[in-house]
Amino acid sequence: MLFCFPPVFSQSDDATDPVKLFEQGQDAHAKRDFQRAIELYDAAIKLKPEFPEAELQRAAALLALDRAAEAIEGFNRAVNLRPNWPLAYASFGRTLGFTGKNDREAERILRRAVELDPKDIRSLDLLAELRRRAGDLADAMKIIGLASSLTGADSQVWRHRASIELAAGDLTAAMKSIDQAVTVNASDEVARRDRADLRIRMHDYEGALADLNVYEKAAPRLTEFPAGYNLAQLYARAGKPDDSLRVLDKLIDRDKRRPEVIALRAELAGDAGSSAEARAALEDLLKANPKDASLLARLGSAYRRIDPAKSQDYYYRANQIDPKNPKYAVGYAAALIQSRKFSEAEPILKRVITANPDDYTAHANLALALYEMKRFAEALPEYEWLAKTKPEIAATYFFIATAHDNLGEYQQALDAYVQFLSHADATNNKLEIEKVNLRLPPLRAQIQRGEGPKQKRP
């Protein structure tokens, strides 16, 4: 950070002239020789203790060397020496805000900066972020609205506005703002990435993929964590697992061994982390993020087949953290079914279906729970809904047929068995096909004899 001040001409060429020393410091600063610049600024301040420009430049050089505590002291001296200097207040407030060590003081300083210069977009931008950190989204929106209304508002401001609107739950407003960010600067790859994220949330996968394509071509450091990992996650969420794996394959070897990457790769491969390595990676992540419902759910999936009790516990914890997420509730119910706790799973699944009538997985699990409890008459409407929703799945007709068969509804059972055979795969459904072929002759005989109920179920 270098603040360019016009030269202040001196009557003397003496090397001990504070103005000359200050100008030499600026030259060193411009050449990124920060240590030399600090030495020259120190010399100037020693000769002229009340020298706010030198204090400000010295603080900026200290900040460039990651000496934030000393920089903050220098900015403080600059504003005390010149109380009505917007630039000094803005620099001081931004430094405090970016370090995150004293948000309250940063906010006070930034408000003074904005008071002195109402068109200071960067200070308004950071002030909005501080209000968001404090949990005051209404004030954050008001401030970022002021920033985005100014003539010089760039794509960064509009991106930030979109993120605050998203935090407030207004996806429509957030999309308008992120569209504006792309309009203001079409080459802003971060805006493209953020818009892809928003489009995925709004189920616009085609639009999201168009943005991801632009982002991937323009963004730097995609072979490193976290940039490459984040891109892989976006592709996965957009329903493109092959692209996600392709991005993960390009990561440098060190980052391929990260727990997050191992876990995502396992999930993309279809086993949701069922390998020992992936489970260990997920559990390492959970130690650092014990309240991460998504991680808990992924572990629930990972252990579902090999340790139903553990799976049940992970899904239960995820569901407790985020009870409105149907995936966590369905995962918990599925783990209960795996443990043969069908009656416990039933009310959970019914609640999910009431809130989300088209949740296929919830219907499938409820159908199975009712079937296993031999409540075939109740299971049938669930299986019939599944068959209507995904008529290509052969197993559904097998369950419909056997449910009718168990109820003595032989003609309906025969019709469903025939449907099953017409959809079945000779390899994947080999066992069921053999069972059906053995059952069909006696079933047809029972129908010919008129066995079973005379009327259909009411």
Report the percent of the chain where pLDDT is more than 70.
94
Domains of the chain: total: 2
Q: Is residue 243 in a domain?
A: no
Judged on CB neighbours under 10 Å (0-12, 13-18, 19+), 356 is middle
Instruction: Identify the residue whose tokens are 């109380």.
Output: 83
CATH number, domain of 93, equals 1.25.40.10
- Cα separation, 1 vs 87, in Å, equals 12
Q: Is residue 226 in a domain?
A: no
Judged on CB neighbours under 10 Å (0-12, 13-18, 19+), 219 is middle
* Domain end residue (candidates: 59, 93, 117): 117
Q: Is residue 275 in a domain?
A: no
* Domain end residue (candidates: 117, 147, 176): 117
Structural domain for 401, as ranges: 377-458
Instruction: Identify the residue whose tokens are 């995925």.
Output: 200
Q: 169-173, 199-203, 288-292, 375-379: which range is least confident on average?
A: 288-292
* pLDDT digit string, tens, across residues 271-323: 555 688 888 888 888 998 899 898 898 888 888 888 889 989 999 999 999 98
Q: Centre a 10 Å sphere on the Cβ of residue 254 and count the other Cβ atoms it contains.
A: 9
Taking each helix axis from N to C end, the angle separating 394-406 and 360-372, rounded to the nearest 10 degrees, works out to 30
Tell me whether the omega of the peptide bond preceding residue 458 falls within 30 degrees of 0, making it cis. Answer: no
Q: Is residue 206 in a domain?
A: no
Q: Is residue 326 in a domain?
A: no
What distances in angstroms separate CA 407 from CA 300, 456, 457, one per listed residue? 35, 10, 9
- Cα separation, 426 vs 187, in Å, equals 53
Q: Is residue 25 in a domain?
A: yes
pTM over 0.85: no
* pLDDT digit string, tens, across residues 126-136: 999 999 999 99
Q: Is residue 18 in a domain?
A: yes
Q: Is residue 217 in a domain?
A: no
Judged on CB neighbours under 10 Å (0-12, 13-18, 19+), 371 is buried
Task: Evaluate if residue 8 carries a pLDDT over 90.
Answer: no
* Domain end residue (candidates: 75, 92, 117): 117
